[in-house]
Amino acid sequence: MSLAEEIHEQPAVLSRLLQRQADTIREIARSIEEEEVHSVLLAARGTSDNAGLYAKYLWGAFNRLPVAMAAPSLFSCYKRLPAFKDTLIVAISQSGKSPDIVGVVEEGRRQHAPTLAITNAPDSPLARAADSVVDVCAGEETAVAATKTYTAQLMAVAMLSAALDEDEDRWRALERVPGFVSQTLALDEAIRQRAERYRFMDHCVVLGRGFNYATAFEWALKLKELAHVIAEPYSSADFQHGPVAMLERDFPVMAVAPAGAVFDDTLALLSRLTEEQRVELVVVSDRDEALGLAHTPLKIPPGLPEWLTPIVAIVVAQLFCYHVTRAKGLDTENPRGLRKVTLTR
């Protein structure tokens, strides 16, 4: 299956995950409550690490769980093992094969901490090492650049949050996501036409904040691995503490700015960048105020709560990166120097 086909498969993947894993995730949530967990240590690499950033914001905001990102090298290289107390160990991995991520979970079990694997490979070493497993139900992903496994990981993270809350309104919001992704994919041709403008782009910054901080990192990663663009992701807040100085006229700035708690601050920054630095602005948003500032507006359907917009916003970014890569004449199926499964120790 090609990268384009896998991008377009995402509504079906998300629907399948909701149907097949809802009961499992509710049961895992009950187990977590019984363990009286007070924090989460999350282990991941690459795209899955960006899904972990989403979990950091989502589980913190809705479930009051502080989330720390693990340093797997402490386990594999330095052999200096943190102590886990009242901590849930979560590993997110597409393949479930990377030894350093498996090692974090194995140490968690050795210390009698509850462990959870979120993976597309329920028979993998990672799944076998964990107490509980969420299969993201994405099916085989053959393209090197991860797309459908990433949005499925986001959905699994969001489902667990809703289950921990025991909030049926949030579950109903989750059920609307596949339809929103379908609406977004219908913009494919329009995005292709707009992406042509960036066929000579070799550098940019990517801005996001809050729940969409993860989207900025994943969008930047896809630009790097597919289009060979030096793409630097930042929180739109952190960006103002120094990196903004690199900007000059026509510097490409990608921004994720849906409606929500951080919208006004993000809009103020984007307004300043267009008025003062005269940057080349690409905006993913459901708000006309932000889209109106952009040279290249990429609209997502309005109506989703902010906490779910990362699942839809990244689909727009995936299409953008795919078409920029094609416009550059690069191979979307075999990015330079990459393999589908990366094993780090």
Mind listing the pLDDT tens digit for each residue in 292-332?
999 999 999 999 999 999 999 999 999 999 999 999 999 89
pLDDT for position 344: 59
CA distance 314 to 298: 11
In the numeric block, the tokens 């979307």 are attached to 332
User: In this structure, what token pair is assigned to residue 176?
Assistant: 């609307």
User: What pLDDT score does 242 carry?
Assistant: 86
Please, what are the domains in the chain?
A: 3-175 (3.40.50.10490), 182-327 (3.40.50.10490)
Tokens representing 326 are: 């094609």
Which amino acid, residue 125?
P
Based on its alpha-carbon atoms, the radius of gyration of the chain, rounded to whole angstroms, reads 19
E-assigned strand segments in the chain: 39-43, 67-69, 87-93, 115-119, 132-135, 203-208, 230-235, 252-256, 280-285, 296-299
Beta bridge partners of 93: 119
Q: What pLDDT is recorded for position 16?
A: 97
**pTM, entire model:** 0.95
Q: Which tokens hold the place of 282?
A: 């690409």
pLDDT for residue 340 = 43
Structure tokens at 301: 């359907």
pLDDT of residue 198: 96
**Per-residue DSSP letters for 74-88?**
HHHTS--PPPPSSEE
Bridge-based pairing of strands 132-135 and 203-208 is: unpaired
State the pLDDT at residue 49: 95
CA end-to-end distance (rounded Å), the chain: 30
* Residue 115 confidence (pLDDT): 97
Q: How many CB atoms lie within 10 A of CB 193?
A: 9
Weakly modelled stretches of the chain, pLDDT under 50: 340
The residues annotated as belonging to the active site are 340
Residue pLDDT, tens place only, 1-32: 899 999 999 999 999 999 999 999 999 999 99
Query: What are the φ/ψ torsions at residue 283 (nearest 5 degrees)?
Result: -125, 130
Look up tokens 């330079």; give the residue: 336
Quick one: pLDDT at residue 262? 96
